[in-house]
Structure 1
Amino acid sequence: MKIKAPYHHKLDEILADSSKFQRITKNPVDDIKRDANRIIETINAASNAPQLMLIVGDYDLGYIYGNVQTHKPGNRLRPIISQIPAPTYQIAKKLNTILIPYIPDDHSLKSSAEFTEALRMTPLGGVMTSMDVESLFKNVPVDEKAQIILDSVYRDDPTPSIKHP
């Protein structure tokens, strides 16, 4: 029990940051399902693209846990928010498969092996940066990223061929 106390304390400190987390008093799952289904119905009605599935069934809220960063002083926690039990998880996966072809490969790497190879191939004097992601997608500027995707889709590149599973 004593081993878990520091973990829980560190997780409580992360959750206490009101700029990133908000305490809720009501389970929002049904409202999220209703709102998401309204959006899905609107998209399906207006699009010739593959139809998005309505959200049906029982779901729960996402949950948070922390991975201990043993390589950092104080064994900080890296918060992980799992959305797997949430009502929007499957639709997010579907949207991901639709959007992936529009993400340019020339400025991103998919694995540490690709990063190692890029370092090996970078000429001396070149610049290579790696960014540590804080709270995964919590701090991604959504409006800016949406505009980049829209510019790529409608102004720059022809529509890529999309493979659907």
Structure 2
Amino acid sequence: MEELLGDNTKFKLVDNDSTITNEDQLIRLLSRLKKDNFITETEYKLHKENCPLRPVMSAIKTVNYGLGKMLTSRLSHLRQSQYVIKDSSDFVTKLTNTKNVDKLMISFDVVSLFTNVPLTFTVDYILDQLYPVCSTNCLQLSKSKQCVDCKRRIGFQTLLEIATSKTHLSFNNKIYVQHDGVAMGAPLAPIIADIFMAYLETTLMDELISLGVCE
């Protein structure tokens, strides 16, 4: 565990527990987004008082757990990919329906997927899918002059950043913040990883098809 947390590219040692600060920031943001009708009353009521910090790998009842659950429902459609196999039955079906037998099947093993997901890149990719930058690029303007979609893009970006980059944990009386990758055990982690893999697979397959390697 010490070796894992010693990876400075993924974790850093901090001086204090930021639970209260993160919780206050989340409450203020949700109140503003509800006022702007960006989230519903039901989605807003995801906060509960006295949220304790749970053991290292559990995100249940942490500050951003409810937020992660809410965002998961909004992102679920982005994880779809024609190259994703649901289960072993789906795999058998695809093999059965394969007409050409003179094909070579290869697989790639992803090492430590969750901690190696490029978080900033994936968040930007998600935002581009949900809220493409408008033609006038008003993201550079003051909030009062931005269009509705750009305001929503910024608001959704903040929610994603809180739900993913505000992950801190304690181990051996030391507090760490995970500043890259996603935390295994967090509700948003699997879908963030799936979205990145769907992007990666599609990009690689397009290139392989163009080179004539795959059909």
Q: TM-score range by the shorter chain?
A: 0.5 to 0.7
Residue 20 of structure 1 aligns with which residue? Answer: 10
Q: Structure 2 regions of 5+ residues with no counterpart?
A: 133-215
Q: Number of residues paired by the alignment?
A: 128
For the pair 1:30 / 2:23, whether they are aligned, the reply is no
Which residue among 38, 59, 82 is the counterpart of 1:83? 59
TM-score (norm 2): 0.48
Partners in 2 of 1:150 and 1:94 — Cα distance? 16
Offset from partner CA, 1:84-139 (integer Å, 9 cap, x none) = 24111111011101111233232334445545654565554255534425162x33
- In proportion to residue count, which structure has more helix? 2
Q: % of aligned pairs identical?
A: 21
Whole-Å separation in 1 of the counterparts to 2:10 and 2:60: 20
Kindly state the Cα deviation for residue 43 of structure 1 after the two structures are TM-superposed: 1.9
Select which of 110, 125, 128 maps to 1:132: 110
Identify if the C-alpha distance between structure 1 residues 150 and 15 changes in structure 2 by more than 3 Å, giving closer, same or farther: closer
Cα deviation digits, residues 119-162 of structure 1 (max 9, x gap): 565554255534425162x332233323333343356xxxxxxx
Relative to structure 1, the CA distance from residue 85 to residue 57 in structure 2 (aligned partners, 3 Å threshold; closer, same or farther) is: same
Structure 1 residue 38: Cα displacement: 1.7
The residue type equivalent to 1:58 in the other structure is N
Q: 2:75 aligns with which of 92, 99, 103?
A: 99
User: RMSD across aligned C-alpha pairs, in angstroms?
Assistant: 2.9
Contact 2:46–2:66 under 8 Å retained in 1:
no
Per-residue CA distance 1:5-55 (angstroms, 9 max, x = gap): xxxxxx222122222222233221111101111221222122354332252
* Contact persistence 1:29–1:61 (CA under 8 A): yes
Please tell me whether residue 146 in structure 1 is matched to residue 123 in structure 2.
yes
Q: TM-score if structure 1 supplies the norm length?
A: 0.60
**Structure 2: distance between partners of 1:84 and 1:45:** 27
Instruction: Tell me if structure 2 keeps the 8 A contact 1:61–1:85.
Output: yes
Q: 1:71 aligns to what?
A: none
SS in 2 for 1:22: strand
CA separation of 1:131 and 1:117: change in aligned 2, threshold 3 A: farther
Kindly provide the amino acid, as one letter, of the partner of residue 13 in structure 1. E
Unaligned runs of 5+ in 1: 1-10, 65-80, 156-165
